Amino acid sequence: MNVISMATSSIRKIWAFLLFGLAIAMLWIAYLWRDGPLPPAETALRIQESLALLGPFAILLDVILIGAVLYGIKRSMESHSRDG
């Protein structure tokens, strides 16, 4: 596998990750606006309230997300070492 195809593969994975994050953010805003659009100050307040509920689980969520990213990187490195 050459460098250009590895870079293309990495860029596609980065874009997929960013688009997934954007989709999650859009779903969150859609849930907060389920009764209709809110002004920015009210939206920020509701976001802070929902983050306060997630507070105790933030470390667990971080561990899961970071673990998933590291697992993906590990698999990618293993597949590149087998190919090259």
- Domain range enclosing 36: 3-83
pLDDT tens profile 12-49 = 888 988 999 899 999 999 999 999 999 999 999 999 99
User: What pLDDT score was predicted for residue 1?
Assistant: 60
How many domains does the chain divide into?
Answer: 1
Structure token pair of residue 46: 């509701």
| Nearest-angstrom CA–CA distance, 66 and 83 | 26
pLDDT at 30: 95
Report the C-alpha gap between 20 and 66 in whole angstroms. Answer: 15
Cβ-contact 46, 32 below 8 angstroms:
yes
Estimate the crossing angle of helix 40-54 against helix 3-32, to 10 degrees: 110
pTM over 0.75: no
- Residue 46: CB atoms within 10 Å: 16
- Beta carbons within 8 Å of 72's beta carbon, 6+ residues apart: 13
